Structure 1
């Protein structure tokens, strides 16, 4: 080979197959394949979604089957004239609603519902707060007292109502005996509408005030002792400390209890059914008990569904108002 040929061959570029690469070099390391951040984020989201479906899916399915589906069916039935057990139903549109608003008994039902709700909700909050303040002190037998106060809440409403019927008996009841000791005669609790409503309210408070006291007690124990000590050093009395320090810090607890007790009061049924069955003369018939009477006593399922829809709207409006306006005044 001549010198010119050797020079030409050396100047020519190497073929692709003959070029040295990192993989062909001795001791070279193969580069690692890295996933893009977007791909990793997508996998993380899918894992989060699957975990959510696994944990919340059964609960959501139960809510759909046993809450939302019956609710939608109740809206549908409220537009029908249908009796329980009848194979036929006739569409009446808003006729059931018109009948309820034009019924002369409706004002009495609404008044009874309002009195019962205001008395039970307000009474539960006031008495429950007083019991919580008392049980929060270091007293002998405090644990037993807390158990006794909360015990009625877990009892059956029907059993509680039947028990208190004997207590309010005008002739032989414990209430009649206690009133005779102070020189008073017992009212006719069973046949006088105002006294019958008062009797039901008293029993409802006795049964449910323990729940309110327990929640308030938990809120009181969460109040920092340093704030009370600081108020005492500034010369504040116990009453001033309660008004200016403790009650504002109990705002979230009070808001929670006002919502839950209001919903529970509007849906109260068992005590009324056990003690008065809505009487006398409808004096203790609330919206909830009217739904029971119209559906299972009169058999008017369509009309009862309309009343249930009205009660649902009332509960929804009150809850929205509480969450939108009342919660703004709560200091967390």
Structure 2
């Protein structure tokens, strides 16, 4: 068990990054600012007194205080979704050894969306606890399909082959989604709001459904982090260090799919958060996943929360869905990374 989940070989010398404490403090500060902004800003701006009343004075029944109370569940839900996507992106990049791997790029989001569409169109489901199991099944099957296609041929699952397999699979599944939705207006009405990606549906019920998946996914990620550090050196070296690479990839990929699938089921397919948060943390902290994974969770929570706030401010008096905002930010970044890295391995 120890050789699978961790490696203590002297050839791998990983230390706490020198700037870790400072970056952690900055992230905690940014997280606090994002939480306050999410509670205070939107189509209805609230005053400092209304914010205090909404948080600490349940007996106060003013309109502003009630607005703040309604935003609490949305804010917590956004933080959880961002954290899940951040960890999912870190795991996906490590498992595939691909610096631009992300659940959305590898088609996992689209697979989850297809199964949710089938549930809406054929099973007439409309509850979050039903969405989540369908989304997880779709995410697992799609991830397996992409890895299977990417592993074919000479050289196995190279970064470029996985990206191409993910793009092709995503395109094919997107076509199936359209084919199922178009003849069914009732399903289209329900699906079109979900598919954009939004944390507006973040109720306490959705949070309670989401928490077990979040805890399981992050625990698996942290337990496998030391062994994933060895995997960066290559399969042969990792095997020599006592890491069972195939089982490690399966477990880590499963954790990534659980986090991504649960988020997609409840918030819709939100792209690029995992890619952006993980790259920021790798740039600041280096490659050690013992630090990159938890800090990617914080970065993902910050990115998604501030994107939600920006969407509310830009679209006021309505709102611009957070999936649109993250795509607007993430798409240029993906192009830049692809140009700079030439889709090289980690």
> Please, what TM-score do these two structures have when normalized by structure 1?
0.31
Using structure 2 for the length normalisation, give the TM-score. Answer: 0.30
Larger radius of gyration: 1
Q: Which has the higher contact order (CA 8 A, sep 6+)?
A: 2
